[in-house]
Structure 1
Amino acid sequence: MTFMAALVGGLIGHYLKFPAGEMVGAMVCVGAMNIFEAEPQMPKLLNIGAQIIIGGFLGLDITSDVLVELKHYAVPALLVVVILAIFGIVTGFVVNILTGIDLYTSLFGSVPGGMQEMIILSQSYKVNHVAVLTIQTVRRVLIVIIYPLLLILVSKATKTQIASNSK
């Protein structure tokens, strides 16, 4: 029953094109079951299987082209990782101090990595997974809305233009 609720919720989220809609939709449907005391359960083996499958999908992005380009972009990539990690940690501490949210929940919610990856990684720790999912979802939606506006501001401030792929 729980798996069917997750499947239906995931398909609805996918169809509605929500950010990470499959994960959010499944979570909402199973969460609703929990709220209405239906006592949903999932075998631990499915969680392990889901993480293995997601790891496989992430591995699909590692190609020979990526390895060839790595020599050109290794230093910038490492610089980005270090800077974002530092800002993520600082943000996590600030959010923890200002809101009282558990520190490690705040750190997982503040990390600027891929939303799905961070939520799955957070499952390996005792943190508030609903809070991590909520913070990451809001972050992702707002970035999709705000970042293009910031690019316009950068374009105007630097008197340069960013090329568009739209036809």
Structure 2
Amino acid sequence: MIKPDFRVVKVFFLMAAGSALGVYFQLPIGAVMGSFLTIAIAQMVGLGAKPLQVRSKRAIQMTIGGIAGLNINSELLNELKAIFLPGLLATLSHFILALIVAYWLQKVLKIDWFTALCGSIPAGMSEISIIAEDVDADVQLVTLMHLFRVSMLVTFLPFIISVLFL
């Protein structure tokens, strides 16, 4: 008989509770930040839950990709034609800046190259965690770097935009 692992139930409960708290307290990207902080704190105090397997992470990515795909329509494709060149230039400049930051992280903070690069490149947190795992980078540090970067963007970008453009 298979013994149920109640840590999984605890993780889902904590994720939902943390997400609700993050939204309630209006944290930047509240649902993500709240669930992340709640699970991280629970792990530090002894929850003992295992990280998701790559197969589970890919199933979650597939779901997120499908949800994003539902928003694609012919109007969006027409808009994409108009912003293709600026988008390409923005992507290239972001990637070049990420290489510079990764080089700095490697030289100054002595972070290994793959961890520094994965933590600096423009990508979603779930995608980059799988890439980091594949190249034997420090997945926890990469995730923390991305969370910090996204949190700073979400926290300060609205203020910067309001000061500059409103």
TM-score class normalised by the smaller sequence: 0.7 to 0.9
Which residue of the partner structure matches residue 11 of structure 2?
A: 2
1:10/1:24 contact within 8 Å kept:
yes
CA gap of 1:71–1:32, structure 2 versus 1, over 3 A, is closer
Give me the whole-angstrom Cα distance separating, in 1, the residues matched to 2:83 and 2:28.
Answer: 28
The aligned amino acid for 1:21 is G
1:120 pairs with 2:129: no
Aligned to 1:20: 29
d(CA) in 2 for partners of 1:14 and 1:48? 26
Q: Say which SS state the counterpart of residue 40 (structure 1) adopts.
A: coil
Partner of 1:102: 112
State whether residues 2 and 41 of structure 1, in contact with CA within 8 Å, keep that contact through their aligned partners in structure 2: no
- Alignment: residue pair count: 151
Tell me the residue number matched to 2:6: none
For normalisation by structure 2, the TM-score amounts to: 0.73
Aligned partner of 1:133 in structure 2 is: 143
Superposition deviation, residue 146 in structure 1? 5.9
Higher mean displacement: 42-51 or 54-63: 42-51
Look up the equivalent residue of 1:132 and give its one-letter code.
V
Q: Does 1:47 align with 2:57?
A: yes
**Aligned-partner residue type, residue 10 of structure 1:** S
Whichever residue aligns with residue 88 of structure 2, its letter is L
- Once residues 43 and 138 of structure 1 are traced to their aligned partners in structure 2, the CA distance between those partners, rounded to angstroms, is 21
Structure 2, unmatched stretches of 5+, are 1-9
Report the RMSD for the aligned CA atoms in angstroms.
Answer: 2.7
Matched to 1:107, the amino acid is L
Contact 1:96/1:106 (CA < 8 Å) preserved in 2?
A: yes
CA contact (8 A) 2:129 2:143 kept: no
Identical positions, percent = 21
C-alpha distance 12-67 of structure 1, shift in aligned 2 (>3 A): same
Q: Is the 8 A contact 2:98 2:120 kept in 1?
A: yes
Q: Which amino acid aligns with 2:29?
A: A
Query: Could you tell me how far apart the structure 2 residues matched to 1:91 and 1:60 are?
Result: 34
1:100-146 deviation per Cα after TM superposition (whole angstroms, max 9, x unaligned): 12322222222244xxx2x1112213233332333223323433426
